[in-house]
A and B are shown apart, each in its own frame.
Chain A
Amino acid sequence: MYPAAFQYSAPRTLEEALSLLSELGDDGRVLAGGQSLIPMMKIQQAFPAHLVDINRISGLDGIREVNGHLGIGALVRHAALASSGLVAKNSSMMAAAAPWIADPLVRNRGTLCGSVAHCDPKGDWNSMMLAMSAVVVARSKAGERLIPIGEFVIDFFTNSLRPGEMVTEVRVPKDGVGGGGSYMKLERKIGDYATVGVATHLRLEGKGKIARAGLALTSVSSHNLKVTEAEQMMAGQTPSAELFAEAGAIAARTCSPDDDVRGPADYKRAVVAEYTKRGFQKALQAATSA
């Protein structure tokens, strides 16, 4: 299977890449790991006129600490996240999820920033980014924009990048003291899309009450779905099995799964309810053991 013909550039510096993207406008598309984009091009679902391959730019593959966040560079592969000490120490949710992204071969090449920009509703990372309120760093020739993830994920395969912009980093809040998360993923086999994925995060205040709850869902809507109603309901409450079950019930009625080869919609709703409950239990364990 072959993609439609395209022009290809492999700039050596970020400045060169941003100049190219600025000239190309809507015709330009960034190629990072390519593990979603190339398959889509092969089945004629994406037709970029000009690929700007960023893999030869140095300095984009780092994980760094920045203002209480982990900054994940545009070329950080899923495999690097799975083996990172910084991630293991600072993000219980990402550490739990990274080994379950795609399969080992795809993890060797695919990137978190690429997945975030791709906005596939069946992609795992954006649910986690929504649950943790991550920030997307977008660069263009004109400068830098910090975009809250909730304003970045617009809809089905649609982000809020402007022509000429690219994602250079995603910043994820560190768990810190009293923070913890989990990602629960049901998949038929390794490498398949999630049938259902549930990202849960808790931040506890000194007396053990919930200062902030994060909840977002994969594969059960036209985009990764942040369950704001449940998050607000949980804020200020004392963690309990009943509270988590109530959040699960809200999540199950908020999402809109389809009947498909991975299961009927009512089954997926039931999994959302159960995984939300279990996910918050795990998040609570992570938050209190930190």
Chain B
Amino acid sequence: MKINVTVNGTSQENEVEPRLLLVDYLRTVRSLTGTHIGCDTTHCGACTVLVDGIPTKSCTMFAVQADGASITTVEGLKQGGQLHPVQSAFKEHHGLQCGFCTPGMMIVGAALIAENTDPSEDEVRWAISGNICRCTGYVNIVKAIQAAAATTREASRQPVSVG
């Protein structure tokens, strides 16, 4: 089947089999290997991407279902050569060890901050409850997402320069 999917702002037409999973489309057809396959059974959240802005497990959706959709993967988080606040905060606060769950965690973190720039620890933990990390014990992931939210809040308080 022919599909046209916009990934990180770039649209492309591809011929795919209906059973091709979105995660494999991203990794093999679009060569974006930042999105990871962890459990492949809808449990771990390592494959999370934004589908029209909504965090979605890309191992549990077919690529044909994304025809016409706009997808954001971890590669699409940075803007204008600048790391997304979530990416900087994960680096700063050591929000990862092995890094396998990190793409999913950062996508979910970015989606949370887009809705709520002042999430409590509980709200962050609730938001990432579909994402499993086997290294960190989550402490620094939570810290990083809260720090990224704080950075985003600060940035929105900067006076807008006029003229």
Alpha-carbon separation in the docked complex, A35 to B45 (Å):
13
Query: Is A42 within 8 A of B18, CB to CB?
Result: no
Q: Quote the shortest CB–CB distance from A262 to chain B (angstroms).
A: 15
A42, B62: Cβ atoms closer than 8 Å: no
- Chain A's interface size range is 20 to 34
Distance to closest chain A CB from B90 (angstroms): 19
- CB of B129 within 8 A of CB of A104, answer yes
Interface residue? B119 (CB, 8 A): no
- Flag B60-72 by CB within 8 Å of A: 1 or 0 each: 1110110100000
Any chain B CB within 8 A of the CB of A270? no
Stretch from B35-43, B75-83, B91-99, B135-143 forming part of the interface with A:
B35-43
- In the bound assembly, the distance between CA atoms of A188 and B65 in angstroms comes to 32
Select which of A43, A51, A102, A105 is within 8 A of B55 by beta carbon.
A105
Give the residues from 83 to 113 in chain A that come closer than 8 angstroms, CB to CB, to chain B.
102-106, 108-109
CB distance from A91 to the nearest CB of B (A): 22
Provided the pairs A5-B19, A6-B18, A7-B18 are in contact, do residues A106 and B62 lie with their beta carbons within 8 angstroms?
Answer: no
A25 adjacent to chain B (CB < 8 Å)? no
Alpha-carbon gap, A225 to B52, bound state (A): 38
**Chain A CB within 8 A of B17 CB:** yes
| Contact among A42, A43, A105 for B48, CB-based, below 8 A | A105
Residues A106 and B129 in contact in the complex (CB < 8 Å), given A8-B62, A39-B42: no
B80 to chain A, nearest CB (A): 28
Contacts of A51 in B (CB 8 A): 18
A101 to chain B, nearest CB (A): 11
Are B130 and A103 neighbours in the complex by a CB distance under 8 Å?
yes
Please tell me if the beta carbons of A108 and B56 are within 8 angstroms of each other in the complex: yes
Asked if A10 is an interface residue, CB under 8 A from chain B, the answer is yes
Query: Please, which residues of chain A bring their CB within 8 A of the CB of B48?
Result: 105
Report B3 CB to chain A, min CB distance, Å: 10
**Chain B residues, Cβ within 8 Å of A109:** 54, 56-57, 60-61
What is the CA–CA distance of A10 and B18 in the complex, to the nearest angstrom? 11
Q: Are B41 and A42 in contact (CB under 8 A)?
A: yes
A residues in contact with B130, CB < 8 Å: 102-106, 190-191
> Is B133 on the interface with A (CB-CB < 8 A)?
no
Q: Which of B17, B18, B42, B54 contacts A35 (CB 8 A)?
A: B42
Q: Which of B1, B64, B126, B130 has the most CB of A within 10 A?
A: B130
Find out whether the CB atom of B129 lies under 8 angstroms from the CB atom of A190.
Answer: yes
CB distance from B5 to the nearest CB of A (A): 14
Q: Which residues of A contact B149 (CB under 8 A)?
A: none
Contacts of B61 in A (CB 8 A): 34, 38, 109
Instruction: Give the chain B neighbours of A2 by CB distance below 8 A.
Output: 19, 21
Task: Tell me if B32 counts as interface (CB < 8 A to partner A).
Answer: no
Q: Please give the distance in Å from A83's CB to the nearest CB on chain B.
A: 11
User: B108 at the A/B interface (Cβ < 8 Å)?
Assistant: yes
A108 touches B54 (CB 8 A): yes
User: With A8-B18, A38-B60 given, is the CB distance from A53 to B40 under 8 Å?
Assistant: no
Q: Does B127 contact A (CB under 8 A)?
A: yes
Measured between beta carbons, the chain B residues less than 8 angstroms from A53 are 64-65
Q: Which of B40, B108, B131 contacts A42 (CB 8 A)?
A: B40
Q: Once bound together, how far apart are the Cα atoms of A109 and B1, in whole Å?
A: 23
Asked whether any CB of chain B lies closer than 8 Å to the CB of A142, the reply is no
What mask results when residues 1 to 31 of chain B are scored 1 for a CB within 8 Å of chain A, else 0? 1000000000000000111010000000000
Q: Please list the 6 inter-chain residue pairs (A to B) with the smallest Cβ-Cβ separation, ordered nearest first.
A: A103-B130, A8-B18, A105-B130, A190-B129, A39-B42, A104-B130
- Please list the residues of chain A having a beta carbon within 8 angstroms of any beta carbon in chain B: 1-8, 10, 31, 34-35, 38-39, 42-43, 51, 53, 55, 102-106, 108-109, 190-191
6 A-B pairs besides A5-B19, A42-B41, A190-B129 with CB distance below 8 A are: A4-B19, A8-B62, A34-B62, A106-B57, A106-B60, A106-B130
